[in-house]
Every structure is written in structure tokens, then in C-alpha cells.
A and B are shown apart, each in its own frame.
Chain A
Amino acid sequence: MALTATGSDTPTRTGRRLSVGPSLALLPFLVFVGIFLIIPTVTVIVQGFLENGRFSLSNIETLFTGTVMRALWKSVVLSASTALIGAVIGAIASYLVVSGNPDGLLRRGAVSLSGVLAQFGGVTLAFAWITTVGLGGMLQRALEAAFGYDVFGGSGWLYDMPGLILVYSYFQIPLMVIVFLPALNGLRPQWREAATNLGASTWQFWKEVGIPVLTPPFLASALLLFANAFAAYATAAILVSQGQIILPLMIRAALTSEVVLGQQNLAFALALEMVVVVAVVMWVYNWYLKRAARWLQ
């Protein structure tokens, strides 16, 4: 290795020693990432296949039992529905924001605000919605005063799937604005002018040019939103303090339960399932993004 590096493109002052020497300076970084990121991840993957220190598929088999499959299914439903809601509303909002002055105050404000709101989660977000639509919440009281009865029919729904979908949308929509807005810059005004000059109506422009060009970045962004919701934990953990309706909450139960022996292994298997799903989605996202980028140089 040292020998081949001497003839490399960069002129080196001190010769072959350099090819290994400079790389050593990366060791602190590599060791740190190795210990605190790679080892935990590998632990999850390896332990998922172990039982009492031996190779076993029993944990993996547990993943295909009714309770785990139901939690996985609900996680998928939650992630897919909030990805869809976030993607559609976020895309429309992005378009409306840039259709004003592209460099105007509206756009700059929307981008900054989205940056803040997309990071919003966990304790604060859960409290925010509990105090809004929960029992005695501001909106709940206002609507009850206006219509004379509790429009929401109690607050049980807030601590279950419908509540999670509502609350997750709060950070999914801004995330969509952040990732989708740059794609709208790829839709050149000249194309619209050219289409109009050739006699196309607004509808025709969108059907023949706008939507086909924006579909790849739209789908890619939706995938990112899916992964984002699938991996989210804090908000759901606060909102649903008991119960394990979705995969992350099932991991919490397995991790914190000290009653049932072997639950720790289940936590590894569930975490493995989560990392596989997210990794596959992110891989497709990156692949798709590269394809989409061809159009939007």
C-alpha cells in the first residue's frame, strides 16, 4: 500500500511514509464512532440471533407472532399515513410559498419555521396537543362551548392511533417543506412560459410537465418522511405511557421490563426489525433521489 501511494497524484514532500501516517490521525474519530455507533448496532444485529449465547432463530421467530406483527402493522400504518398527509400538505404548502416571491419574506420565514417545527417532538409536542385537544384542552373547550357537546367524544383517541397520526403530522409537514422546497426550484419558470407560448393551459402544463418532473422528488421525500415517523420514539412514548401499540413502544416495554426473562433478547430482535425497515427505506430513498436528481440539475 505504501509503495503504490508514492506515485499518487498529489506531490508529497516526505515520500512513502505519508500514505499510512496521515491516516492515523483519523483514528480518534474512527474509534469513537466504532465504540458508540458501530458496536451498539452490531450488538443489536448479533444479539437478535442469539439465545443464551448460542445461535438461535427463536427471537426472530417471535417477530412473526401476532402481537409483534400487529405492532409492526400499526407502525407501518402510522408511518405511511403521516408520510402521505405530510407529503401532500407539505408539497402544496411548499408550492404556495414559492409561488409568491421566490426570495421573499414568506419563503424565508417558512423555511426557518419549518426547520424549527421539524425538530419539534417528544415531551413538548405531546403536551402541546394534550393541552389543545385533550380533555379540558383549549380547542376542546372552545368547540364544546360552541356546539354544546364534546366534539371529540372524550380524549381516548388522542392516546391511540388517531392521536399519534395527528401529532406526528405536526413534524412531518414541516419536514416535507424542508426536503421538497429545493425540488420546486428545479421547476423552471421558463418551462411554464414555453408551455404557455405553445398554447398549453395551466392544467395541461401540470399534467404534462409539472407533475411528471416533481413526482420523483415527491416520492423520495415521502419515503424520508416514512422513515422519520417509523424511527420516532419520544412523542409516542409520552403520549402513550402504557401499552405497546407500535413497534418503538414494544421495544420500550421489552427493554424496561425486568419481570419476564428473555425480554432483553426480544428488545434486540425488535430493534433489529426496526433498523432493517428503516435501512431499506433509506436505501430506496437514496437510490431514488439519485435518479430524481438527473432531472433537477
Chain B
Amino acid sequence: MTGSPSVGFRVFRAVFLLACVAFFALPLVAMLDFSTKIPATGERTFADWQALVTNDSLRESIIVSVELAVLTVAGMVLLLVPTMIWVRLRVPRATRLVEFLCLLPLTIPALVIVVGIKNVMAWVNYYIGDTPLALTFPYIILVLPFSYRAIDSALSAIDVKTLSEAARSLGAGWPTVFVRIVLPNIVGGVLGAATITVALVLGEFTFGSLLNYQTMPVEIAAIYKVQARAAVAAALASIILIAVLLMLLSYVSRDRRTREGRATA
């Protein structure tokens, strides 16, 4: 940390970090290798990647997962954003409670919620029918901690109270304050929350499989037994998409942090 490190240290650092890169990259390369190779002849083929669109059940499950992602984002934003703004503006004494509830899913494993949610889901299915989109509700719970953090840091960066008082004194109603004053100022945080929500929903397996809904990861696991290469191709495709989303998120949030850093400096 001081001056320039010794040669031995540099060599150790390079070797160690390269070993890490190999450890993390190798399984991904192996998936690509497996999904494009016919074992008997060693030929390369991308035929199994086409299963993403040509395999009916796989395509349907992808659509289900994308729909779930969109609905979960919409539900999360509608539920969380107004609540969090309102807490800051009018009920600050509820701050700790809302934070506690939002972070609670980190302490209660998804598997535990699945075990206890049967009656609640039966009730949901009674009202909206037996559709995989019912998963939207528990998924909103799953993404609460991550979404809360993203939106909270965006809200902390602006003076919600002054903004809303200024708007109110100029005659704005509450809907105007929420949609036209506060929301445009926290759009980065909301986008961050939406990104991590999409990433989590697309990869979610526990709820989907144990509640017997054919979401993308569940379907991928199912077709592995009959079409191993197509399944691995789909799994790799999904993780690439999720990785791109999460990388995007880290860049968005870093930009925001550096901007805030400059603003306070």
C-alpha cells in the first residue's frame, strides 16, 4: 500500500489473481464447449442454441420468466417507491420499521417462505387463477432488500423534504410531487432496483420448482435430462443476460456514487 510493492509480492499477486480468473472462467468456457460440441465426432454446432426459440416448452418458459420479471418490477416500484418517499416526507418514525421489513428477506431463507406460503398461494390462485404469474407476489418479497437499498441510496442523495415543500407551496398536489418532482430525481436508483429485480427473477429456481411452475430455470433443469446440450446452452444464455444486467447496474450505481462524491466534495 505504500510505495511500490516488492517483486515477490507482485509475482504472488499476479499468480493468485490469475488462478482466481481461471477458477471462475473455466466453468463458463466448459459450458460453451459442451453446448456447441457433438461428443461422438467432436464437430462444432450451434444447433442446440436454436432450441432457445424452437423448443416450444423452453420458449414458453422464457416468456413466462420475462413476464414475471416485468410484473415484479412494476409491482416492486408501485409498492416500494411511494412508501419510501412517504416515509421520508410524513412518517419518519416508521423509517426503522420499513427498513427492517425490507431487509427481513435476507434473514428468512426463500426455502422457508416456500414451505409456509402454501395457503397464501392457494388464496392467490383462487383470485387470479392457477397461473405462473402468481409468483409475482413472492418475487416482490424476494427482491425487497436489494430494491430497498438501491432506492434508499438514491433518496438519501436528494433533499426530498425541501423539494416537496417547494412544490407544495407552489400548489402541487401529492401525485404531482411524487411523479413529477421526486421520481425524476431518483430515476437512477429506481433503474438500479429494476435491474437487480430482473436479474434475480430470471434466475430464481426455489419458488418456481417447489410450487410447480414452469419458469425458465425450472424448464432448463427439466430438459437437461433429454436435451442436455440445449439445456446448457439456455443456462449459459441466461447467465450471460443476467451478467450483462448486473454489470450495467454496477456501472450505473458507480456513476451515481462518483457524482454524489463530487457534489459533496
A residues near B, CB below 8 A? 18, 22-23, 25-26, 28-30, 32-33, 35-37, 39-44, 47, 89, 92-93, 96-100, 108, 111-113, 115-117, 119-125, 127-129, 131-132, 136-139, 170, 173-174, 187, 189, 192-193, 196, 227, 230-231, 233-234, 237-238, 248, 251-252, 255-256, 267-268, 270-271, 274-275, 278-279, 282
Contacts and interface: CB of A to CB of B under 8 A. Distances in A.
Interface in B1-35: 1-2, 5, 9, 12-13, 16-17, 20, 23-24, 26-31, 33-34
A37 B141 contact: yes
B235 interface: yes
A37 B105 contact: yes
The 4 A-B residue pairs whose C-beta atoms are closest, nearest first, are A40-B116, A231-B109, A128-B27, A22-B90
A34 B146 CA distance: 19
Contact of A36 (B9, B80, B141, B209): B141
Given A39-B117, A40-B114, A122-B217, 6 more contacts: A37-B108, A112-B246, A123-B235, A124-B238, A127-B232, A278-B108
A66 to B, nearest CB: 22
Interface string B79-102: 110110011001100100010010
Interface string B223-265: 0100000011001101100110011011100100000000000
Residue among A43, A108, A122, A125 with the highest chain B CB neighbour number at 10 A: A122
B116 A47 contact: yes
Contacts of B13: 96, 99-100
Q: How many B residues touch the partner, as a band?
A: 35 or more
Contact of B247 (A35, A116, A268): A116
26 contacts: A25-B82, A26-B87, A26-B98, A28-B83, A37-B105, A37-B108, A121-B203, A122-B205, A122-B217, A123-B235, A124-B203, A128-B27, A128-B30, A132-B27, A138-B29, A196-B2, A227-B107, A231-B110, A234-B205, A234-B217, A252-B210, A255-B210, A256-B210, A267-B115, A268-B115, A278-B109
Given A124-B203, A128-B31, A132-B27, A116 B246 contact: yes
Given A33-B141, A96-B16, A282-B106, A237 B205 contact: yes
B104 to A, nearest CB: 6
Nearest to B254: A108
A99 to B, nearest CB: 6
> DSSP class of A's interface residues: helix, strand, loop or mixed?
helix
Contacts of B167: none
B247 to A, nearest CB: 5
Contacts of B110: 231, 233
Contacts of A127: 31, 224, 231-232, 235-236
Interface of B: 1-2, 5, 9, 12-13, 16-17, 20, 23-24, 26-31, 33-34, 39, 79-80, 82-83, 86-87, 90-91, 94, 98, 101, 104-117, 119-120, 137-138, 140-141, 144, 199-200, 203-206, 209-210, 217, 220-221, 224, 231-232, 235-236, 238-239, 242-243, 246-247, 249-251, 254
> Which residue among B20, B26, B83, B243 has the maximum number of chain A CB atoms within 10 Å of its CB?
B20
Contacts of A193: 2
B206 A137 contact: no
Contacts of B251: 112
Given A37-B141, A237-B205, A124 B16 contact: no
Contacts of B80: 29
A251 B30 contact: no
Contacts of A271: 111-112, 115-116
A234 B206 CA distance: 6
Given A26-B83, A192-B2, A255 B115 contact: yes
